[in-house]
Structure 1
Amino acid sequence: MPDPVVPARATCDLRAATPARVALGRSGASLPTRPLLDFTLDHARARDAVHAAFDAARLVAKLRELGLAPAEVMSRAVDRGEYLRRPDLGRQLDAASAEVLARTATEPGRLAIVIGDGLSPTAVHAHALALLKSLLLRLAAEDAVAICHVVVASGARVALGDEIGAILGARMVVMLIGERPGLSAPDSLGAYLTFAPKPGRTDAERNCVSNIHQAGLSYDEAAHKIAWLVREGLARGGTGVALKDESADRAPRRIGTASPGGTESGAKMSSS
């Protein structure tokens, strides 16, 4: 067997700066044993994350410990297999869940938080609660943006938040959801913000804060970005391509102050 080919020093330095698979070396026409085994392990972790069970009941209990009153809903995907085969079903509430939300929508509110399993329930179990705790502090820090509803959704795709937000009458919905696992991050959480949610919204009408995990964006960094986007989205009346993330450069707008067009933005929010 030929000796493995060792990458040059500059390429080795690059490996130290990124978890991406670069400069793996080679042994003949194949990979060395160690990189091959690492790839196989990471691929198995990604597959496990996609197929992991979502413990919605435990998440609901933890949210109640935070003083929240979450509703639990499901999409039209009856099981994990159908969820993966039929993405369209993950974007629609089942009839019973729609009725549950309609009964809880006593009055419109500004902000609804939806926590969905997505393509990595592992990510939601690992990061959603810690991120939400940090986000609650950020939203309450200045011009208190109260959360009118919290929903835990099983079999969820990002667009499921549009129907949920529309039924609840929320001006904006923030969907915390497990992202498609990568070979270097099987537990990455994403946050998707949509102003005036309703079925049919496109990804161009959303903002996304992604790669929230231990080796990616921290909870505090992500919460800062999300809170800034929430305030600015409510003040400007839009998200997506209409709202550029300038959270690193500008102080957050106070909800209720004049918008760039000179109109007053928003009314006092109900805490129901």
Structure 2
Amino acid sequence: MTTKDPAVQEFWDELRKTTQARIGLGRAGNALPTRHVLELAAAHAAARDAVHVPLDVEKLVVQVRGVGIGAPKVVTSRATSREEYLRRPDLGRLPGDATTVPHTPADVGFVLADGLSPTALNHHGAALLTELVAQLQDRYTLAPPVIATQARVALGDHIGAQARVRTLLVIIGERPGLSVADSLGIYLTHLPVPGRTDADRNCISNIHPPDGLGYAEAARVAAALVDGAVALGRSGVDLKDTSRSAALGPLSVHELH
């Protein structure tokens, strides 16, 4: 597009307010304007940094302890370095020392995992956990949280089984992109054991206020999924998000299918 017509420019300016996608950027000759080229390069650098900048474990431990459900246990996967973690996803799914996680039988357990964006966990992890606890603590017993490094989602199955929690919420840094480098996801697994697949989980994605899903809304959806998993006896493809139906009253087990 060109930017000579003010009406056209105004149209694209308004449309860009509704999305983080790079649309209607105009051109300078046969290329993008220099400003947008530099913004793209900066976004690419931020995405790369989000993957490689280490999780600030000490700071996160202090923040998570302050949530009030116990001192967190720190574990790692079998990936011994960030480079190995990126080359060998399978090692990120296996525990290096999950047997050190104490038995803390509870209704709900939490794993805060660095995933592919430690930056996301640095920015949002403790605040999201705080909202989850606020939504769940009146109805369920909560296990002390676990912080996992060099971790993939499936590492949570080993941790949850070792801790003996009934439903596990893995809060993990999502793969960064050129629009968002610090987005978190929540993966819910009911009755976690090694060998669970993605079909056994429910995911809440794109958590990164102010532009993405907010902490309170994400926690509300997660709490509804926990309720549904308990009622249904399983999580995954058979469990649907019914949080938007809460105002209509409780749903039966059959309505959760």
TM-score above 0.5: yes
Answer with 75-84 or 227-236: which moved more: 227-236
* Structure 1 Cα separation of the partners of residues 203 and 242 of structure 2: 13
Q: TM-score, normalised by structure 1?
A: 0.85
Residue matched to 1:270: none
Deviation at residue 150 of structure 1 after TM alignment: 1.3
> What is the SS of the residue equivalent to 1:42?
helix
Is the counterpart of residue 201 in structure 1 residue 201 in structure 2?
no
Residue matched to 1:116: 113
Deviant stretches of 4+, over 4 Å? 251-254
Residue matched to 2:226: 230
Deviation at residue 228 of structure 1 after TM alignment: 1.1
Deviation at residue 99 of structure 1 after TM alignment: 2.5
Is the counterpart of residue 260 in structure 1 residue 253 in structure 2?
yes
The one-letter amino acid of 1:116's match is: A
Please list, as runs of the form range in 1=range in 2, the aligned pairs for 1:139-178 lying within 5 A after superposition: 139-141=136-138, 144-178=139-173
> What is the SS of the residue equivalent to 2:151?
coil
* Contact kept in structure 2, 1:232 and 1:252, CA below 8 Å: no
Deviation at residue 115 of structure 1 after TM alignment: 0.3
Is the counterpart of residue 243 in structure 1 residue 236 in structure 2?
no
* Contact kept in structure 1, 2:153 and 2:172, CA below 8 Å: yes
> What is the SS of the residue equivalent to 1:149?
coil
Q: TM-score, normalised by structure 2?
A: 0.90
Seen in structure 2, the aligned counterparts of structure 1 residues 98 and 17 have a Cα distance that, compared at 3 Å, is closer
Residue matched to 2:81: 79
Percent identity among equivalent residues?
A: 49
> What is the SS of the residue equivalent to 1:29?
coil
Which digits, 9 at most, give the CA deviation of each residue in 1:185-208, with x for residues without a partner?
Answer: 111111110111122211121111
Seen in structure 2, the aligned counterparts of structure 1 residues 212 and 252 have a Cα distance that, compared at 3 Å, is farther
* Structure 2 Cα separation of the partners of residues 181 and 25 of structure 1: 25
> What is the SS of the residue equivalent to 2:144?
strand
* Structure 2 Cα separation of the partners of residues 62 and 137 of structure 1: 15
Which digits, 9 at most, give the CA deviation of each residue in 1:56-115, with x for residues without a partner?
Answer: 222122222233221110000101111111111100001xx22212xx115x32211000
* Structure 2 Cα separation of the partners of residues 260 and 138 of structure 1: 21
* Contact kept in structure 1, 2:153 and 2:187, CA below 8 Å: yes
* Contact kept in structure 1, 2:115 and 2:172, CA below 8 Å: yes
Answer with 230-239 or 73-82: which moved more: 230-239
Residue matched to 2:39: 38
* Structure 2 Cα separation of the partners of residues 115 and 40 of structure 1: 30
Two-structure CA RMSD over aligned residues (Å) = 2.1
The one-letter amino acid of 1:243's match is: L
* Contact kept in structure 1, 2:99 and 2:162, CA below 8 Å: no
Deviation at residue 260 of structure 1 after TM alignment: 2.8
Deviation at residue 252 of structure 1 after TM alignment: 10
* Contact kept in structure 1, 2:67 and 2:129, CA below 8 Å: no
* Contact kept in structure 2, 1:228 and 1:252, CA below 8 Å: no
